[in-house]
Amino acid sequence: MNVLRKSVIAGSWYPGNPSILKRDIENYFNAAPDLKLPGEIIGLIAPHAGYIYSGQIAAHAYKLIRKEKYETVVVIGPSHRLAFHGVSVFGSGGYETPLGVVPVAEELAEKIKKSDKIIADIPAAHLQEHSVEIQLPFLQVALGDFSFLPLVMGDQDAHTCRKLAMAIYEVTRGKKILIVGSSDLSHFYNDQMAKKMDAIVLEYLRSDDADGLLQSLENGVVEACGGGPMAVVMLAARMMKADKAYLLKYANSGDVTGDKSSVVGYAAAVYCK
């Protein structure tokens, strides 16, 4: 391993004890419905809050890929901590969670860095960022061993999203991959306002309308801290011949805390071919 990116949220956002962490994820899976979707899941959207708030929502999507085999998983998150232009790839080494180290697909990382000037290796964009890491324990329990391509978006405008989707498509062409978009929805509105705003995003996810989502985000009609990653999943999955979209679950933090005065929205969706 060239660089080992240590967990910054184990023990707070999710359990730091590996047996408790695995047990919790298994419990989330057991509580999610048993669905059989036609086709192969290429894209997945899941939230990135603490597991007590959004873990059950994420499980609706991750349960559907249990025991699947992917050559690589691409995980795309927004940058919460560092302001920078373009997209950062974590180019070598791996990410560590209590369940072990997930190695970076270094050959793909090098290819995607060379594929477009908007993509660079900026390690600082990953060191304190939770949006990519929080997806990994779910992937580890669902898939077992896998390599991944960690991407953090500094810009989430439509131009960057389309460039990144094309780069992912080109460097993974011919491989069986899964693309994960890490995003929460509206933040800190009351329950009624949040549901009204989030319903617009949910319709874009359900109808696989990345262009509509990007336009509404740009106009301020909707909010999502990972709107870019969600759009990239939809755009890239469509390039990979995904033609079915499934919105699996929506909820907000008020459903857990009971406080409906200020909530954060969460959704899970998948894209299949």
Output the pLDDT for position 82.
92
CA–CA separation, 233 vs 26, rounded Å?
25
Binned at pLDDT 50, 70 and 90, residue 123 comes out as: very high
pTM over 0.85: yes
For 74-110, write each residue's pLDDT tens digit. 999 999 989 999 999 999 999 999 999 999 999 999 9
Write the burial class of residue 261 (CB in 10 Å: 0-12 exposed, 13-18 middle, 19+ buried): exposed
For 13-71, write each residue's pLDDT tens digit. 999 999 999 999 999 999 999 998 989 999 999 999 999 999 999 999 999 999 899 99
Domain range enclosing 217: 4-272
Residue 159, pLDDT above cutoff 90 = yes
CB-based contacts of 155, cutoff 8 Å, min separation 6: 85, 86, 87, 118, 228
Total structural domains in the chain?
1
Residue 2, pLDDT above cutoff 80 = no
Q: Across residues 231-236, what is the average pLDDT? A: 98
Output the pLDDT for position 3.
87
Task: Tell me the CATH number at 31.
Answer: 3.40.830.10
CA–CA separation, 273 vs 238, rounded Å?
9
CA–CA separation, 215 vs 203, rounded Å?
14
Largest CA distance in the chain: 48
